[in-house]
Amino acid sequence: MQDEDGFFGEDIAATYDESSADMFQPEAVDPAVDVLAELAGDGRALELGIGTGRIALPLARRGVTVHGIDMSRAMVARLRAKPGGDAIDVAIGDFATTRVAGTFAAAYLVFNTINNLTTQDAQVACFRNAAAHLRPGGCFVVEVGVPELRRLPPGQNAVPFHISPTRWAFDTYDVATQAMSSNYVTIVDGRAEYWSVPFRYVWPAELDLMARLAGLRLRHRWEDWTRAPFTSESSRHVSVWEKPAD
């Protein structure tokens, strides 16, 4: 059930790091931090949807001043409890509209978090909010998957991405509205527990238009944080838009 923390309340926050353990490994974190530290340079960085600090904490250890926005007090409490977490300023609120003081060299959204905004209007507002926080020449970075619609045969709307004796997970897609959801069924003590999170999937070209509406222009698009080329076979992308210096 959704609470004041959205879909990332205490029950999810309590096990979030463990359930996403692969994304906390150095091979997943270090390349992202390398890119973001380079883009931030001697400036500040703003993470939209900072969560438990998977990226913010190692980025701060690189000497970058990091600020965050997140709706979930429960997730932010986990960030605060980690070494260095209490030194990161976090505003509680919707990252599509919440403002913090000052300007930033880089703003970023990672791990499909742009899809947590479930309407096109909210996603457009997010780009405008990010742009408003950037100093001239600053960059907005988004890491997000490419919708896997090619895996949908006629008449099917679900794509499984994890199957084991105790856990099943699948995404559902509505190609008419771009609504999707990630669904999880977990067996605990012989009983099934179900959890679902709604998203809105978005195409790279659509993101480019959102960026243009916000006064940003595309600088880079890679397949991943290692800066591998983005191709028609890429399942995700890391895109960097910049705010013109003039």
DSSP 215: T
Angle, alpha carbons 197-29-204 (nearest 5°): 55
- Cβ-Cβ contacts under 8 Å for 27 (sequence gap 6 or more): none
- Residues 241, 216: contact at Cβ < 8 Å? yes
Identify whether the C-beta of residue 35 lies closer than 8 Å to the C-beta of residue 106.
no
pLDDT over threshold 90, residue 204? yes
Q: Is the pLDDT of residue 3 over 50?
A: no
For residue range 101-130, what is the model confidence (pLDDT) as tens digits? 999 999 999 999 999 999 999 999 999 999
Q: What is the pLDDT of residue 6?
A: 62
Place of tokens 């977490």: 85
Q: Identify the residue with better confidence: 106 or 10.
A: 106
Kindly indicate the confidence band of residue 16, based on its pLDDT and cuts at 50, 70 and 90: low
Stated pTM of the model: 0.92
User: Which H helix or E strand runs over 209?
Assistant: helix 204-213
189: left (phi over 0), alpha (psi -120 to 50) or beta: left
Report pLDDT digits (tens) over 42-94: 999 999 999 999 999 999 999 999 999 999 999 999 999 999 999 999 999 99
CATH T-level assignment (fold) for domain 10-146+202-242: Rossmann fold (3.40.50)
Does residue 179 have a pLDDT over 60?
Answer: yes
pLDDT at position 8 is 73
- How large is the C-alpha radius of gyration of the chain? 18
Query: What confidence score (pLDDT) does residue 21 get?
Result: 77
> What digits encode the pLDDT tens for the residues 134-174?
999 999 999 999 999 999 999 999 999 999 999 999 999 99
> In this model, does residue 9 exceed pLDDT 90?
no
Q: Which amino acid is at 5?
A: D
Q: Reduced to 3 states, what is the DSSP secondary structure of residue 182? A: strand
- CB within 8 Å of 36: residues ≥ 6 apart: 45, 55, 59, 64, 106, 108, 141
Q: Reduced to 3 states, what is the DSSP secondary structure of residue 94?
A: coil
At residue 2 the predicted structure's pLDDT band, cuts being 50, 70 and 90, is: very low
Domain ranges of the chain: 10-146+202-242, 149-197
